Amino acid sequence: MQALVLEDVGVLRLKTVADPAPGPGEVLLRVAACGICGTDVHIFQGSPGSAPVAPPVVLGHELAGEVIEVGAGVQELRVGDRVAVDPNIYCGRCRFCRDGRPQMCEHLQAVGVTRNGGMAELCVVPAASCHRLPEGASWLDGALAEPLACCLHGIERLAPRAGQRALVIGAGFIGLVMVQLLRMYGAGPIVVSEPDPKKREMALSLGADSAFHPYAVSRDGAGVPAAHMDEGFDLVVECVGRQETMQAAVDAAGRGARVLMFGVAHPAAEIRLHPYEVFAKELTILGSFINPHTHRAAVALVAQQRLRLQALVSHRFTPTQVAEALPQYSQLGIRKGVLVWPWAAEDKRG
């Protein structure tokens, strides 16, 4: 089979490798589509993913495909099933798993991170990680269910309520999903901070009440309603992961605010925090890691067409194009890229 193999930091090659075979409790998928995540770019550059990465490995943890073989003991799936994959594999034995917090698993494994993933024609995954795609859902929908599931976990942590003033920092794929989820939960007004005018326009089309360039904001309200600047926001969602945007997230928080740090920062990044401000404002600063217990809900939302996800995909890649694009991915202006394997591009079902 053909696979995009990360051989070392900064070295990704399209190669012919041996076809994998499913073990007990596993299934073999013919991969249809695989989203390219910021985490894939971080791993390519040498940073960790959801768990430490040891090349060589096939990247790709946002995947959907067709079951073509089932391993021993698999009863819940059949050959021909179309599935989306939750890539995270928990041990079920550590104190966090037993306490209902599997995302903190001490032995976390992940498809496309610690084991071969969806940037290959074939991929072996645990049957328990598969969620059947509903009738009418496309392969692209299936691949996008994983980042949506991560956003759902973040929103659950944030716990938005109707009428709360919300700021979303960054209008890339994740930020635009967050805008839609906040609207679905009734938050508002929703304000977006984003330097790219086209992304600001898309944020407005997806439910944001206003969108501004981050450097246009001042305390007198330039670029954002003055009331929001004076009072701060009830909810702040940081979707970039840069030092300056994380600092802006804390600075924009009003009294009693909840701040969700969703963007993946460099491990060495630091921001300034005034403990008195946290105390006086009763700030809650939250993290959100992967997608425990939310993949099923994400697939359901895909089926209900409650969100515009495919509209957020700006690039569809062939395998060769992925190998060429990943070294310069952040400079290409890509909102969301998806690797679509040739057979799936011709499949009328998805």
User: Residue 122: which CATH number?
Assistant: 3.90.180.10
Q: Decide if 133 contacts 82 (C-beta within 8 A).
A: yes
Q: Decide if 113 contacts 6 (C-beta within 8 A).
A: no
Q: pTM of the full predicted structure? A: 0.93
The span from the CA of 54 to the CA of 48, in Å, is 9
Q: Give residue-wise pLDDT tens across range 142-185.
A: 999 999 999 999 999 999 999 999 999 999 999 999 999 999 99
Q: Are residues 333 and 252 in the same domain?
A: no
Buried b (16+ CB within 10 A) or exposed e, 232-262: bbbbbbbbbbeeebbbbbbebbbeebbbbbb
Q: Are residues 117 and 170 in the same domain?
A: no
Which sign, positive or negative, has the C-alpha torsion 47, 150, 229, 280?
Answer: negative
Whole-angstrom CA distances from 133 to 86, 140, 205 are: 12, 11, 27
Q: What pLDDT does 47 receive?
A: 83
User: How many structural domains comprise the chain?
Assistant: 2
The span from the CA of 214 to the CA of 230, in Å, is 16
Q: Give residue-wise pLDDT tens across range 298-328.
A: 999 988 888 999 999 999 999 999 999 998 8
User: 278 lies in which domain range?
Assistant: 152-287
299 within domain boundaries = no
295 within domain boundaries = no
Q: Are residues 232 and 261 in the same domain?
A: yes
Q: Are residues 75 and 202 in the same domain?
A: no
Q: What pLDDT does 291 receive?
A: 96
28 within domain boundaries = yes
Calculate the dihedral angle through the C-alpha atoms of 117, 158, 314, 63, rounding to the nearest 10 degrees.
20
Largest CA distance in the chain: 66
Q: Are residues 281 and 156 in the same domain?
A: yes
Q: Give residue-wise pLDDT tens across range 11-48.
A: 999 999 999 999 999 999 999 999 999 899 989 998 88
Q: Are residues 121 and 230 in the same domain?
A: no
